[in-house]
Structure 1
Amino acid sequence: MLSPEPPAEAVMPPLFPRTLAADLPLAGCTAAEVSERLTGADPRALLMALVHLTRDADALTVFAAVCEPGAADDDLTAALRDRLAAVLTEPPSAEAGAPLPDALMQAMAATFAREPVAAEFLPVLRDQCGFDTLDADPTPPAADGGFHVAVIGAGLTGIAAAVKLAEAGHTYRIYERNSDVGGVWLVNQYPGVGVDTPSHFYSYSFAVNPDWPAFYSSGDVVLGYLRRCADAYGIRAHTSFDTHVESCAWDEADRRWTLTTRHADGTVSRDHADAVVSAIGFFQDPKYPDIPGLADFAGTVVHTAAWDPGLDLAGRRVALVGTGASAMQTAPAIVDDVAALTVFQRQPAWIQPRRAANLTVPEGALWAMRHVPYYAEWFRTITYWFASDANYATITADPDWRGADTAISAASDKLRQILVAYAQAELADRPDLLAKAVPAYPPFGKRILRDADWYRMLRRDHVDLCTEPIDRIIPEGIRTADGTVTEAEVLILATGFHLLPMLRSVTVTGRGGTVLADVWGDEDPRAHLGVTVPGFPNLFVLSGPNSSPGHGAGNNFVSEVQIHYVLACLDLLRERGLRTLEPTEEAHAAYADDVDATMAGLVWSHPSVRSYYRNAAGRVVVTNPWRLVDYWHMLRKPDPAAHVLG
């Protein structure tokens, strides 16, 4: 029996100590030295930090050109650095550390975005970019009246859930089948693994990290960040590692969940919780392709999600199956080592252009993250803005669009032209590769991937891109439908994870003995607001049906939004002296209808798109159909009328 247990610590020293407005002036350096150290920092974030500290809206006009690509000259940028350096080396104004007025924040956002920013975005930016954390009350609430919550999974979402549950005065226990925290970042150890969402946003809003070494960090760096967060918040003491949750069953008499868990030594335990939060995520177990003869291969077979760190590829002939995110990172990382590499492609992916030859964070930016109040939050804000709802127009179909079927609107076609032009530039001397590498579906139909030298890797003399369907695996390699045999000593399966059925590893039984797997079937999961299901009280499925942010940002955004909703549901029960919550059948059905109706007008429903976002019947079950700002507002608090409370 592991519950109830003492509340987790909710108050701690800053995880990433940084200079705050109240800490000014900076000690030990002159204004001229500060200005010099800011060389290389993002001028847009410097401008936002200046205005945030001074509340001088006129500076937005004076320095507006630093937000226009290619418009700012060196003198203007230097003047901005000098102006900010003077502020940093003087005592702060009385209002420097106070929350920004909405009107000023809106003007600042419009300046860096170079377009009007609606007021609906302001609370989202404050919440998701770290500003609210700076203004938060450090006093934790009392644990009296709190719930004991079982959290399944200690990845990015599970860690965040634990932190926020503790802050809200609830006790929790995490059950993690692996031996450490990290989730997919612990499991994925293949060469080249890393984020394709910018690091400064792919992180927690409550733990803004000033020390990312690169704008797109490697997997070991991300894992290190998650471990550091888990250690700082004392999460390991509340986690059962090497523990697989076999089942969760609702006990109607006790009005709580019984969890059956199996430990590494084979022993079985039964624990109880008032609520269950599934933080298993979208990606569950490695997905092995159903290719005839796979067991007959005489060489080494390795899946990217079950990588053997001792595998030596030097001088070996390698066949790689897949062209998704893991393949696009693995192949360029191993190409210099192998004797020959053949990539087997079923469908190409759209690839976003390289933003710079060197993605290392400059020293001036690192210094600013640490020493300039609000710089890190504003850099995160700018990163989020251009990697999230700014993309929504490109995934929305225009019913009057009469252009090529490889786009769904003028915005979609504009993006397509940019991506095609990039492919053409990278493969200018290889028209044979270009014909294979450009997708025949609209952008965002499948996940757009970041170029990690994929095109340049394909051009290497010892690399071949095969688009002929695979017939079968044979002992010496792969035979394709045209009879060609590609000999290989190592077979790498970059074929992703199982997404369906969701919660496939846990048997969840709700009211009246109803099993969630029977309700959802193998491929048709649905949940109210992507989180709750009728008949399953106090069960919260994070990263559940139609939750993935397919047009931008990262899963961290949706995780935090959904965790906030979980806490709001528990708060509603606590305020009313009640114990259980579940959506009504009517609310659940209405939301499902809204999802399907909205999805019909988005790129993922386009007839040319084949992806893991859709089930066998063609219904999109993974991606979220709303703008992120819409979803954020939808999940601020539960509607009591849409729920059965008890």
Structure 2
Amino acid sequence: MDSEFIRRAVELADLDAVRVALFHHTDDPEIEALPRALELDDDERELLITKTVAWLEENAGPGMPDEPPMPRLRQLMNLATKEEMGDLEFESRRDLMAFKSFPWTVDWTNGKPELPEGFQVAIIGSGFSGLAAGIQMELLGIPYVILERRSEPGGTWSRHRYPDIRVDTISITYEFAFEKNYPWPEYFGKGQLVREYLLHISRKYGMHDNTRFDHDLKRATFDEVRDVWVLEADTPDGIETIEANVVINAVGAFANQRTPNFEGLEDFPGPVIHPSQWPEDFDYRGRRIAVIGNGSTGVQLLSPVAEEAEEVYVFQRSKQWISPRPKYGQPIEPEVRWLLDNFPGYWNWWRYMAIAALFATHNYLYADEEWQAAGGHWNEMNDQLRDFLTNYIHEQTDNRPELVENLVPDYAPFSRRPVVDNGWYRALTRDNVELVTDPIARLTPKGIETDDGTVREVDAIITAIGFDVVQFLWPADYFGRDGLNVHDFWSKDGPRAYLSMMVPKYPNMFMLYGPNSQPLSGGTGLPIWYQVWSGYAAQLIVKMLEEGKTSVEVTMDAYERYNEALDEEASKLLLMHEEGAPDKNYYLNQTHNRLQMSAPWYGPEYHRLCTEVEWDDLQIT
């Protein structure tokens, strides 16, 4: 490639990743002294670009550096963010660059032992988390079967096919660390691209051959005499019974859609569509469409629908903080693709810098009483983000007073899951789009009537109202010790687990993305956590097998102590305070007024809990 092409590639790249990747190769003190990309002056920026172009002209080519020794790796990580991290942070982040072949996986302690005859692990679901568990079993050489209710892998990405569905975190972080430099064609992959990726992973690493598709688990019963789970799955040929020594539930939190219960639903003659069941033949061109909801799904699909529909009514149930993402919806430029393929280490450090944006999220979640006493809402960082997002609303709506008034939330950012803007605000300024904030009273044969008596005539209704996320493991029944159904066990105060993964009385059973799982603060992308949780389950399975035991179970005392500490930590978070609008938050279990979806722990601390096993909390027999 000529110098101009290489220069364009570097200019389009993440200059922080460029800086650390170049220093990784050269130890150039001038590069080491440069500040973060946002703080580079013109001369410093030119120095970095010129030196990188010169190095690439001499050294460009495929390959990936070996993982540096730990002191060197830590030096590079500190250089990347220009911050000195502590030991806790280093341990939780040192695999983010994915220099290792299979980060976050575990191995036998002294070679694979002889396994009991017929030993098998059953993994429920073949989405991201199920495939993460599958690769861990592949590496250990443990026989396993994946039960998947659909006819292809992909989980929620298989179900969701609405217009312009895509990831809202950059694809280089929404991927497995063991598949190096996957050729994403877009910065934020569309749903079809994610489905292709997961199918590729399933086939390449052996999970596809171990998957029984169209197998919908209905019932799981633990046989206390044999320490075996007996699974009953609904298949095209009827109920099939499968036995497994261990069950890893990878069914996810977005498996059970919310069903609209509006008065008059049966009177509306047109289609009422939940985005997770988008009909392939649904044509909204030239039609009058209602979109109910403005969470991630409703925001993603509005713009493409509005471009072709005759009229769109957006029924906003609550205000959202909706934020921009650089390069959202854009293809990866050919120059950047070349850089990823020919600048060894750039892919690794781009991953790190993309994830590093999450390191400081905990700073948004804790109150600053002095700041509040001086007139602030929550704390300085959170209030600065509020101002930025408020200004963004003004900008995107052309400062229209009637829109701004109805769009700016009265609660703090990071109270709810951040929503990424896919042109939603701009779509509201179109002549054929109306924002409706009056509550829906009922459906009529002609359309939707709001509380003020207005009827808006529509041909079809899109119910982007989300999922019933508090129904973990639903609708299958799981019967543990003494025949106790897990849903009855959870009836007192909602679904709970130890480390989000284990429940007493349910031996040899793990959950990935279970209750109180992904941490809200200082964490990393979800596929990383799927691998971390799979690694935790694997550690326990390995110990059980190496010691010749047949069951592993968390104690009731450990389960209760963990959840008491969890509730105490959660009480400090923004989400549980009035400024965080707890009554509007799907992270919370509204019935029991407690944090339900996420772990309240600081991300690196939660990583430690999930990788350094507290064996005294477990019973292995």
Structure 1 and Structure 2 fold alike (TM over 0.5): yes
Q: Give SS of 2:601's match.
A: coil
C-alpha distance in 1, partners of 2:126/2:376?
40
Residue 126 (structure 1) aligned to one of 85, 94, 97: 94
CA contact 1:42–1:365 (8 Å) conserved in 2: no
Q: By how many angstroms is 1:400 displaced?
A: 4.4
Provide the identity percentage.
Answer: 29
C-alpha distance in 2, partners of 1:375/1:637?
31
CA contact 1:213–1:361 (8 Å) conserved in 2: yes
Opposite residue 434 of structure 1, the aligned amino acid is V
1:488 maps onto 2:463 in alignment: no
- Summarize the alignment of residues 449-460 of structure 1 with structure 2, pairs less than 5 Å apart: 449-460=419-430
C-alpha distance in 2, partners of 1:278/1:598?
26
CA contact 2:113–2:546 (8 Å) conserved in 1: no
CA contact 2:65–2:344 (8 Å) conserved in 1: no
Residue 612 (structure 1) aligned to one of 578, 586, 590: 586
Note the aligned Cα RMSD (angstroms). Answer: 2.6
Q: By how many angstroms is 1:284 displaced?
A: 1.2
CA contact 1:286–1:306 (8 Å) conserved in 2: no
Question: Structure 1's 401 and 526: CA in aligned 2 closer, same or farther, altered over 3 A?
Answer: farther
CA contact 1:63–1:80 (8 Å) conserved in 2: no
Query: Which position in structure 2 is the counterpart of 1:349?
Result: 320
C-alpha distance in 1, partners of 2:462/2:376?
31
C-alpha distance in 2, partners of 1:100/1:642?
35
TM-score where L is the length of structure 2: 0.93
Q: By how many angstroms is 1:117 displaced?
A: 2.7
C-alpha distance in 2, partners of 1:181/1:624?
27
CA contact 1:247–1:259 (8 Å) conserved in 2: yes
Question: Structure 1's 142 and 297: CA in aligned 2 closer, same or farther, altered over 3 A?
Answer: same
Q: For structure 1, which segment, 632-641 or 468-477, has the greater mean C-alpha deviation from structure 2 after superposition?
A: 632-641
- What are the Cα deviations for residues 76-96 of structure 1, in whole angstroms up to 9, with x where unaligned? 23323234315625999xxx9
Query: Which position in structure 2 is the counterpart of 1:288?
Result: 259
CA contact 1:124–1:629 (8 Å) conserved in 2: yes
TM-score where L is the length of structure 1: 0.89
Q: By how many angstroms is 1:638 displaced?
A: 2.1
Residue 517 (structure 2) aligned to one of 547, 552, 560: 547
CA contact 2:187–2:329 (8 Å) conserved in 1: no
Query: Which position in structure 1 is the counterpart of 2:85?
Result: 117
Q: By how many angstroms is 1:637 displaced?
A: 3.5
Residue 529 (structure 1) aligned to one of 471, 495, 499: 499
Query: Which position in structure 1 is the counterpart of 2:227?
Result: 255
Runs of at least 5 residues in structure 2 that lack an aligned partner in the other structure: none
C-alpha distance in 2, partners of 1:428/1:238?
54
Query: Which position in structure 2 is the counterpart of 1:207?
Result: 179
C-alpha distance in 2, partners of 1:37/1:197?
22
Question: Structure 1's 572 and 637: CA in aligned 2 closer, same or farther, altered over 3 A?
Answer: farther
Question: Structure 1's 550 and 475: CA in aligned 2 closer, same or farther, altered over 3 A?
Answer: farther
Query: Which position in structure 2 is the counterpart of 1:84?
Result: 55
Query: Which position in structure 2 is the counterpart of 1:637?
Result: 612
Q: By how many angstroms is 1:589 displaced?
A: 0.6
Opposite residue 445 of structure 2, the aligned amino acid is P
C-alpha distance in 2, partners of 1:480/1:405?
37
Question: Structure 1's 357 and 326: CA in aligned 2 closer, same or farther, altered over 3 A?
Answer: closer
Q: By how many angstroms is 1:354 displaced?
A: 4.0
1:422 maps onto 2:392 in alignment: yes
Q: By how many angstroms is 1:289 displaced?
A: 2.1
Question: Structure 1's 494 and 30: CA in aligned 2 closer, same or farther, altered over 3 A?
Answer: closer
Question: Structure 1's 547 and 484: CA in aligned 2 closer, same or farther, altered over 3 A?
Answer: same
Residue 486 (structure 2) aligned to one of 507, 516, 541: 516
Q: For structure 1, which segment, 436-445 or 149-158, has the greater mean C-alpha deviation from structure 2 after superposition?
A: 436-445
Q: By how many angstroms is 1:592 displaced?
A: 0.1
Q: Give SS of 1:248's match.
A: strand
- Summarize the alignment of residues 344-493 of structure 1 with structure 2, pairs less than 5 Å apart: 344-356=315-327, 359-386=330-357, 388-402=358-372, 407-493=377-463
1:105 maps onto 2:73 in alignment: yes
C-alpha distance in 1, partners of 2:8/2:168?
31
Opposite residue 611 of structure 1, the aligned amino acid is N
1:559 maps onto 2:536 in alignment: no
Question: Structure 1's 563 and 135: CA in aligned 2 closer, same or farther, altered over 3 A?
Answer: closer
C-alpha distance in 2, partners of 1:603/1:137?
33
Residue 243 (structure 1) aligned to one of 215, 224, 227: 215
Query: Which position in structure 1 is the counterpart of 2:198?
Result: 226
Q: Give SS of 1:173's match.
A: strand
- What are the Cα deviations for residues 553-589 of structure 1, in whole angstroms up to 9, with x where unaligned? 4321221111111111112212322221111111101
Opposite residue 467 of structure 1, the aligned amino acid is T
CA contact 2:171–2:188 (8 Å) conserved in 1: yes
C-alpha distance in 2, partners of 1:281/1:508?
16
- What are the Cα deviations for residues 310-331 of structure 1, in whole angstroms up to 9, with x where unaligned? 1111111111111111000010
Q: By how many angstroms is 1:494 displaced?
A: 0.4
Q: Give SS of 2:240's match.
A: strand
CA contact 1:406–1:442 (8 Å) conserved in 2: no
1:623 maps onto 2:598 in alignment: yes
Q: Give SS of 2:90's match.
A: helix
CA contact 1:532–1:582 (8 Å) conserved in 2: yes
Runs of at least 5 residues in structure 1 that lack an aligned partner in the other structure: 1-28
- What are the Cα deviations for residues 69-126 of structure 1, in whole angstroms up to 9, with x where unaligned? 666655223323234315625999xxx9443233433333333323333332233333
- What are the Cα deviations for residues 357-410 of structure 1, in whole angstroms up to 9, with x where unaligned? 873222222112122222111101000011x22211101233444269994222
- Summarize the alignment of residues 272-311 of structure 1 with structure 2, pairs less than 5 Å apart: 272-311=243-282
Query: Which position in structure 2 is the counterpart of 1:3?
Result: none
1:177 maps onto 2:152 in alignment: no
Opposite residue 211 of structure 1, the aligned amino acid is P
Opposite residue 195 of structure 2, the aligned amino acid is L
1:573 maps onto 2:573 in alignment: no
Question: Structure 1's 174 and 406: CA in aligned 2 closer, same or farther, altered over 3 A?
Answer: farther
Question: Structure 1's 174 and 138: CA in aligned 2 closer, same or farther, altered over 3 A?
Answer: closer
1:197 maps onto 2:169 in alignment: yes
Query: Which position in structure 2 is the counterpart of 1:22?
Result: none
Q: By how many angstroms is 1:225 displaced?
A: 0.8
Q: Give SS of 2:515's match.
A: coil
Tell me the number of residue pairs that the alignment of Structure 1 and Structure 2 aligns: 612
Opposite residue 215 of structure 2, the aligned amino acid is T
Q: Give SS of 1:99's match.
A: coil
- What are the Cα deviations for residues 612-646 of structure 1, in whole angstroms up to 9, with x where unaligned? 21122221111121222221111113222111110
Q: Give SS of 1:314's match.
A: coil
Q: By how many angstroms is 1:290 displaced?
A: 2.1
Q: For structure 1, which segment, 600-609 or 115-124, has the greater mean C-alpha deviation from structure 2 after superposition?
A: 115-124
Question: Structure 1's 502 and 346: CA in aligned 2 closer, same or farther, altered over 3 A?
Answer: same
Query: Which position in structure 2 is the counterpart of 1:14?
Result: none
C-alpha distance in 2, partners of 1:72/1:124?
35
Opposite residue 154 of structure 2, the aligned amino acid is G
CA contact 1:105–1:122 (8 Å) conserved in 2: no
Question: Structure 1's 30 and 190: CA in aligned 2 closer, same or farther, altered over 3 A?
Answer: closer
Opposite residue 612 of structure 2, the aligned amino acid is K
Question: Structure 1's 121 and 476: CA in aligned 2 closer, same or farther, altered over 3 A?
Answer: same
Question: Structure 1's 307 and 33: CA in aligned 2 closer, same or farther, altered over 3 A?
Answer: closer
Q: Give SS of 2:398's match.
A: coil
Question: Structure 1's 358 and 468: CA in aligned 2 closer, same or farther, altered over 3 A?
Answer: closer
C-alpha distance in 1, partners of 2:126/2:268?
35
CA contact 1:47–1:60 (8 Å) conserved in 2: yes
C-alpha distance in 2, partners of 1:247/1:357?
41
- What are the Cα deviations for residues 174-193 of structure 1, in whole angstroms up to 9, with x where unaligned? 00000000011110000011
Q: By how many angstroms is 1:411 displaced?
A: 1.9
